[in-house]
């Protein structure tokens, strides 16, 4: 397994980020509450959890691209020592794509059918003022297409002449257009068949190594996590259930939600076991249970879980979980400077 350098510089540091959605006539939906993580240079951080747990909301919050009824209510998003929440819209526009680019969920269907793929990638370059010289733009389009494994001769073709996998490659090329340090990939392989899925994952892995990219990888597929990620943030109902390196998540998960997620995932190395599904549904965000959000579905819940929300605390060095059953073994908390800083690196 690949290991990222423990002392690689932190590129993105998210502290206590919370986001609400406002819906007329209803209580605000608390879609994200106190999310904390660090992303280092060259690291792939997987964001996992069931549908509706807030993965896309977290990514859109980072990009400051929430829908009109979304509000970031607290927190910091420090990117190379600037809080993105303090930037003007214009300054943020510069950060998007040039520093942090996003491959949106379902992106491969977002290509415009009436323009060639090459033209659409060129527009992304020109729009963000990355290069303005016409010849240089064309060269860059060809370079990007080749980087993602598409021959230059296909730049003048239309999206319908591309297969699904090629359209997704083109979207990845577009995200890389302005040479960002961080790429957010929101379920980049979900709609693809397994063979193509494997090729796209391989491509992202190659790009990570070749370009030194840091990647925030959103998925609900634990197989993809095992293959791609260095560290993992497990989300449940808008909060962090568990945060640790990928080995720890698979081999020593502490939060009952992570354990249940793993039991719902086939392990080919073990004898055949019955797969389980987690009974019940995620919570409604504007009618949250008192206490732990997972308690109504948790097989281990006891009295306290239904009245008091467990904070995210350090289980061991480099391992964090929010569960009353998990004994904190240290004083690490998201508020302490160690989280997950020098002495407790992930
Ligand atoms: N514009 C909106 N207004 C109100 N609620 C919203 C809005 N967008 C998302 N939500 C709610 O916020 C929660 C998180 O949604 P989000 O799309 O972030 O989930 P997700 O983890 O990305 O799910 P999926 O795996 O299905 O993509 C869900 O309960 C969703 O219904
Ligand atoms: Mg989503």
Q: Does 332 score more than 70 pLDDT?
A: no
Helix (H, G, I), strand (E, B) or coil at 229: coil
Question: What does pTM read for this prediction?
Answer: 0.90
The residues placing their C-beta within 5 Å of ligand 2, an ion, are: 55-56, 105
Q: What is the dihedral of CA 28, 29, 31, 32, to 10 degrees?
A: 40
The residue behind tokens 């076991």 is 273
pLDDT at 271: 61
- Ligand 1, atom nearest to 54 Cα: 18
Distance CA 78, CA 117 (A): 34
Give the pLDDT confidence of 117-146 residue by residue, as tens digits.
999 999 988 888 767 788 999 999 999 999
b (16+ CB within 10 A) / e for 277-316? ebeeebbebeebbebbbbbbbbeebeeebeeebbebbbbb
**Ligand 2 centre from 105 Cα, in Å?**
6
284 pLDDT band, cuts 50/70/90, is confident
Give the pLDDT confidence of 141-177 residue by residue, as tens digits.
999 999 999 999 999 999 999 998 899 999 999 999 9
Nearest ligand, CA 186: 2
pLDDT at 276: 67
Q: How many CB atoms lie within 10 A of CB 114?
A: 7
pLDDT at 84: 97
Domain boundaries, the chain: 13-99+182-344, 106-179
**CA–CA distances in Å: residue 177 to residues 46, 128, 213, 261:** 23, 9, 13, 36
Three-state secondary structure readout of 254-299: CCHHHHHHHHCCCCCCCCCCCCCCCCCCCCCCCCCCCCCCCHHHCC
**Ligand 1 centre from 1 Cα, in Å?**
33
User: For the domain with range 13-99+182-344, which CATH number is right: 3.40.50.300, 2.60.40.420, 1.10.486.10, 3.20.20.70?
Assistant: 3.40.50.300
On whether the CB atoms of residues 170 and 117 are closer than 8 A, the answer is: yes
């Amino acid at each position: 397994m690949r290991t990222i350098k423990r002392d690689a510089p932190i590129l993105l540091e998210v502290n206590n980020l919370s986001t609400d959605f406002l819906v007329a006539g209803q209580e605000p939906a608390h879609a994200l509450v106190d999310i904390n993580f660090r992303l280092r240079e060259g690291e792939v951080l997987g964001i996992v959890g069931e549908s509706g747990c807030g993965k896309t909301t977290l990514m859109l919050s980072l990009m400051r691209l929430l829908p009109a009824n979304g509000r970031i209510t607290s927190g910091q998003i420090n990117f190379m020592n600037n809080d993105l929440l303090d930037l003007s819209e214009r300054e943020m526009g510069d950060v998007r794509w040039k520093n942090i680019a996003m491959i949106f969920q379902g992106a491969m269907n977002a290509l415009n059918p009436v323009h060639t793929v090459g033209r659409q990638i060129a527009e992304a370059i020109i729009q963000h003022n990355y290069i303005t010289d016409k010849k240089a733009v064309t060269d860059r389009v060809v370079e990007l297409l080749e980087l993602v494994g598409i021959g230059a001769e296909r730049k003048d073709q239309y999206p319908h002449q591309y297969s699904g996998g090629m359209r997704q490659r083109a979207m990845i090329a577009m995200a890389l257009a302005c040479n960002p340090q961080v790429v957010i990939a929101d379920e980049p392989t979900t709609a693809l068949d397994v063979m193509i899925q494997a090729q796209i994952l391989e491509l992202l892995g190659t790009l990570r190594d070749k370009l030194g990219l840091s990647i925030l990888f959103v998925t609900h597929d634990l197989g993809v996590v095992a293959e791609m990620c260095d560290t993992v943030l497990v989300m449940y109902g808008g909060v962090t259930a568990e945060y640790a390196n990928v080995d720890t998540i698979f081999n020593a998960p502490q939060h009952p939600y992570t354990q249940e997620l793993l039991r719902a995932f086939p392990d080919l190395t073990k004898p055949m076991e019955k797969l389980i599904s987690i009974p019940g549904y995620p919570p409604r965000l504007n009618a949250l249970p008192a206490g732990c959000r997972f308690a109504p579905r948790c097989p281990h819940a006891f009295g306290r879980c239904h009245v008091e929300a467990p904070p995210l605390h350090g289980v061991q060095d480099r391992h964090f979980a929010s569960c009353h059953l998990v004994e904190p073994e240290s004083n690490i908390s998201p508020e302490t400077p160690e989280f997950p800083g020098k002495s407790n690196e992930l």
